[in-house]
Amino acid sequence: DVVMTQSPLSLPVILGQPASISCRSSQSLVYSDGNTYLNWFHQRPGQSPRRLIYKVSNRDSGVPDRFSGSGSGTDFTLKISRVEAEDVGVYYCMQGTHWPGAFGQGTKVEIK
Amino acid sequence: EVQLVESGGGLVQPGRSLRLSCTASGFSFGDYTVTWVRQAPGKGLEWVGIIRSKTYSGTTEYAASVKGRFSISRDDSRSIAYLQMNSLKTEDTAVYYCTRGRREPDYWGQGTLVTVSS
């Protein structure tokens, strides 16, 4: 099975400053159709996960443009250009290329 | 508006069974794969299983941790997916979510809590 490894697992950030989360997969996430099914989710306490990014770098509708995704193959990054208070919570990467799908361990973002 | 609503969770003893439902609205349910994901208290997200659309024969796949104990089915006429959980173990205690899609799950329900305890 594919293993997704995120770092860091805890990320204290200062409001208005940038933040970056890394996600690495144990196998290439390029699918036979040429797409790379790497997603990013944000989960606030007591809420369901919300998808932010799909296919590495595509922002979902309503997601602020301070969020961006990048990467290829096995290495991926989620960046927040200027952290706002509403961005706290846990961020998960998830691969949908291989069966079974797999999530990273999660990165907890909190305000310093 | 796309909505997914899980129901059927609760407290159940080890070894017993429980069936969860995922009721969808706001989209053509039959055209989509449904994925079940769970989250143990204070833990991360874990894939449980999927059921593909009839276009892809409605086939199912399961995580190793639940294979042989859990089964997924769907009733497209009612826009409902089911997760039948048998031989429940304490480690199955979690919030169970249903989501739309498999490779890029976009919409998620609010989840339903299953507690397996004697």
pLDDT tens column, B63-72: 999 999 999 9
Nearest CA in chain A to B97: A48
Name every chain B residue with its beta carbon within 8 A of the beta carbon of A92.
44-45
B57 Cβ contact list (under 8 Å, min separation 6): none
CB-based contact A21:A90 (threshold 8 Å): no
Per-residue pLDDT of chain B (118 residues), as tens digits, is: 999 999 999 999 999 999 999 999 999 999 999 999 999 999 999 999 999 999 989 999 999 999 999 999 999 999 999 999 999 999 999 999 999 999 999 999 999 999 999 9
Say whether B44 and A92 touch across the interface (CB within 8 A): yes
**Which strands, in side-by-side order, build the sheet including B3-7?**
B3-7, B18-25, B80-85, B70-75
Cβ count near B56 (within 10 Å): 10
Please tell me the distance in Å from A55's CA to the nearest CA on chain B. Answer: 8
Q: Which of B98, B104, B108, B112 to mutate to test the interface with A (most CBs of A within 10 A)?
A: B104
* Cα(A79)–Cα(A104) distance, integer angstroms: 16
Using pLDDT thresholds of 50, 70 and 90, give the confidence band for residue A32. Answer: very high
Residue A77 CA from chain centroid, whole number: 7
Radius of gyration of chain B (CA): 13
